[in-house]
């Protein structure tokens, strides 16, 4: 064991990690140094590209070897999780900070509970900034489609993360866009997915990425349509979507103009009593909707890494059936109502004489919202705001499919059509006139029936069956 000698840091050890996000490397070396009783001010940490690499380039890098049977250092799972996030930060002091915390934890096992401690506070801050960067990348990364020499399509995105989050985010994009071939280019490195395996590549430049394709027009139109001038809060908007991300987002090109004209547009909106939706340009067909919802990130559900589930059925249908949101099975199969609630619904529709093959079947919310519980994904109801954000898609489907009668299953679906809170029990089993002349009928959601037992289930299921028979009769009248 030979300590490296330097005028500024006598007897310092230098630890060179394999990569800027090398958590495992840091953890292994930090454990070893604690076991050898090396205090934090005797260790210099560096990762490729950092200034310390050059300063110590000539040094003796041998690290001390712990005595056989030396005890493992104390580190709670909570600390290690925090350390994993902090490792991804671009702060050159992050590894030293983490080692200092690990060192201090040996004498102060409850240190991490002390929010007033400067090191603990700094680690929390760095972890928060990393989480925010991860979220921003998921929300604001935009793919552009390019044709490769082979003629195959590849989706390419350019993004400039603030921290070393590229690898940590890879799993999200693989899960989210499993069936697409894509590349993510950043100044820190690149990721390339071919539908089966993920390759890492060297850093890229902005000029390596394409800069525009036809789907961007759709994004711009969509953004313009959901941009509500009456709700414009510039501070909040900048916090959520900081200016530095705008240059890579097609829809952001509209922001300055939308902001500048917001007051005038709000006045027009108030004068005419109309919502912005009525003026928006819509997707031209149902296929476009299916493509665009897959990439939609306008609400947190869209950012959760699942596939969107598009509506299905004939492109013109007299009946439209709207559920709440896809469930676990629907998300995996990419089709609405194919899980347990779907089976119950399908059998009742058949009993009522409603032909599902002639109906447009869709959901008020296009992505699956869930909380992970071990290997399971437990359904979570969408919030009113999430339903309202997704309403633009349901409205677009209605404009194309032009149903005469819409059946809403449950309160979320009813909200997605009426834009207000609905009490299913009070408003079910009777027609509601919609502004385009279609008739809305509301009934319970089949998942609700599945949660009931015995007599309660039998009673509610009988009412559900009766609602469907009434709807079948009314549909026959409307289409005869
Ligand atoms: N529940 C819904 O509301 N929709 C589906 O597609 C499946 C279950």
Model pLDDT, residue 229: 58
Among the listed ranges 40-44, 163-167, 192-196, 266-270, which one has the minimum average pLDDT value? 266-270
Which residue did the predictor score with more confidence, 261 or 41? 41
User: Which atom of ligand 1 lies nearest, measured to the CA of 324?
Assistant: 3
Q: For 431-454, what is the mean pLDDT? A: 95
Model pLDDT, residue 63: 80
Q: For 101-109, what is the mean pLDDT? A: 96
Fold classification of 280-479 (topology level): Uracil-DNA Glycosylase, subunit E (3.40.470)
Q: Is the pLDDT of residue 217 over 60?
A: yes
Q: For 274-286, what is the mean pLDDT? A: 61
Determine the angle formed by the axes of helices 166-176 and 118-140, rounding to 10 degrees.
Answer: 40
Domain boundaries, the chain: 13-135, 141-208, 215-260, 280-479
- The percent of residues in the chain predicted with pLDDT above 90, rounded, is 58
**pLDDT tens string 175-195:** 878 777 889 999 999 999 988
> How many Å apart are CA 186 and CA 170, to the nearest integer?
12
Model pLDDT, residue 255: 63
- The percent of residues in the chain predicted with pLDDT above 70, rounded, is 81
Q: For 307-314, what is the mean pLDDT? A: 94
Model pLDDT, residue 26: 96
Q: Is the pLDDT of residue 350 over 70?
A: yes
Q: For 327-349, what is the mean pLDDT? A: 96
Among 330, 411, 415, say which to mutate for ligand 1: greatest number of ligand atoms within 8 Å of CB. Answer: 330
Q: Is the pLDDT of residue 215 over 70?
A: no
Which residue did the predictor score with more confidence, 28 or 211? 28
Q: Is the pLDDT of residue 234 over 80?
A: no
Model pLDDT, residue 224: 62
Among 339, 345, 349, 411, say which to mutate for ligand 1: greatest number of ligand atoms within 8 Å of CB. Answer: 339
15 class by beta-carbon count within 10 Å (0-12 exposed, 13-18 middle, 19+ buried): buried
> How many Å apart are CA 151 and CA 270, to the nearest integer?
50
The encoded tokens of residue 102 equal: 């690990």
Q: Is the pLDDT of residue 64 over 70?
A: yes
What band does 259 get if pLDDT is binned at 50, 70 and 90? low
Model pLDDT, residue 42: 92
Q: For 422-427, what is the mean pLDDT? A: 96
Q: How many CB atoms lie within 10 A of CB 92?
A: 15
Cα end-to-end distance, the chain, whole Å: 92
Q: Is the pLDDT of residue 20 over 50?
A: yes
Q: Are 184 and 191 in contact (CB under 8 A)?
A: yes
Q: For 106-123, what is the mean pLDDT? A: 94
The encoded tokens of residue 477 equal: 């009248």
> How many Å apart are CA 202 and CA 188, to the nearest integer?
8
> What is the distance in A from the centroid of ligand 1 to the CA of 416?
14
Mean pLDDT of the chain: 85
Which residue did the predictor score with more confidence, 127 or 156? 127
49: left (phi over 0), alpha (psi -120 to 50) or beta: left
Q: For 112-141, what is the mean pLDDT? A: 92
Model pLDDT, residue 58: 40
> What is the distance in A from the centroid of ligand 1 to the CA of 430?
22
Q: Is the pLDDT of residue 328 over 60?
A: yes
DSSP letter string, 209-262: S----THHHHHHHHHHHH--GGG--HHHHHHHS-GGGGGG-GGGGGHHHHHHTH
> What is the distance in A from the centroid of ligand 1 to the CA of 327?
6
Q: For 331-356, what is the mean pLDDT? A: 96
**pLDDT tens string 31-56:** 999 999 999 999 999 887 665 544 44
> What is the distance in A from the centroid of ligand 1 to the CA of 179?
23
Q: Is the pLDDT of residue 256 over 80?
A: no
Q: Is the pLDDT of residue 445 over 80?
A: yes
What band does 253 get if pLDDT is binned at 50, 70 and 90? low
User: Which atom of ligand 1 lies nearest, measured to the CA of 323?
Assistant: 3
Q: For 276-291, what is the mean pLDDT? A: 72
Distance of CA 94 to the CA centre of its chain: 27
Model pLDDT, residue 1: 37
């Amino acid at each position: 064991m030979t300590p490296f000698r330097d005028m500024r840091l006598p007897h310092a050890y230098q630890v060179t990690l394999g990569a800027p996000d090398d958590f495992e490397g840091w953890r292994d070396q930090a454990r070893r140094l604690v076991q050898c009783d090396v205090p934090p001010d005797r260790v210099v940490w560096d990762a490729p590209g950092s200034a310390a690499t050059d300063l110590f380039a000539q040094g003796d890098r041998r690290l001390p070897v712990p005595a056989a049977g030396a005890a493992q250092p104390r580190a709670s799972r909570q600390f290690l999780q925090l350390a994993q996030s902090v490792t991804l930060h671009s702060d050159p002091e992050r590894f030293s900070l983490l080692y200092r915390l690990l060192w201090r934890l040996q004498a102060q096992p409850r240190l991490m509970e002390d929010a007033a401690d400067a090191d603990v506070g700094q680690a929390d801050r760095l972890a928060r900034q990393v989480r925010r960067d991860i979220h921003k990348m998921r929300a604001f990364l935009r793919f552009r489609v390019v044709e490769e020499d082979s003629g195959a399509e590849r989706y390419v995105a350019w993004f400039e993360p603030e921290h070393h989050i590229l690898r940590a985010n890879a799993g999200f994009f693989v899960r989210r866009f499993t069936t697409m071939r894509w590349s993510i280019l950043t100044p820190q490195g690149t990721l390339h997915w071919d539908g089966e395996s993920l390759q890492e590549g060297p850093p890229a430049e902005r000029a390596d990425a394409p800069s525009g394709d036809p789907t961007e027009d759709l994004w711009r139109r969509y953004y313009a349509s959901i941009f509500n001038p009456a709700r414009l809060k510039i501070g909040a908007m900048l916090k959520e979507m900081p200016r530095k991300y705008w240059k890579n987002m097609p829809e952001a090109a509209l922001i300055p103009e939308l902001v500048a004209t917001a007051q005038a547009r709000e006045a027009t909106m108030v004068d005419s009593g109309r919502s912005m939706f009525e003026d928006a340009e819509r997707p031209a067909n149902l296929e476009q909707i299916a493509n665009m919802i897959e990439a939609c990130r306008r609400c947190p559900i869209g950012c959760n890494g699942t596939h969107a589930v598009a509506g299905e059925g004939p492109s013109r249908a007299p009946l439209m059936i709207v559920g709440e949101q896809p469930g676990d099975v629907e998300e995996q199969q990419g089709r609405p109502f194919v899980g347990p609630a779907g089976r119950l619904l399908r059998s009742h529709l058949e009993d009522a004489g409603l032909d599902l093959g002639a109906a447009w079947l869709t959901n008020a919310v296009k992505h699956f919202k869930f909380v992970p519980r071990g290997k399971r994904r437990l359904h979570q109801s969408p919030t009113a705001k999430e339903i309202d954000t997704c309403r633009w898609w349901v409205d677009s489907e209605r404009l194309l499919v032009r149903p005469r009668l819409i059946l809403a299953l449950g309160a979320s679906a009813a909200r997605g059509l009426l834009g207000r809170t609905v009490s299913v029990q009070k408003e079910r089993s009777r027609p509601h006139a919609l502004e385009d002349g279609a008739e809305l009928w509301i009934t319970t959601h089949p998942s609700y029936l599945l949660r009931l037992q015995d007599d309660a289930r039998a009673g509610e299921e009988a009412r559900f069956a009766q609602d469907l028979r009434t709807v079948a009769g009314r549909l026959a009248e409307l289409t005869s």
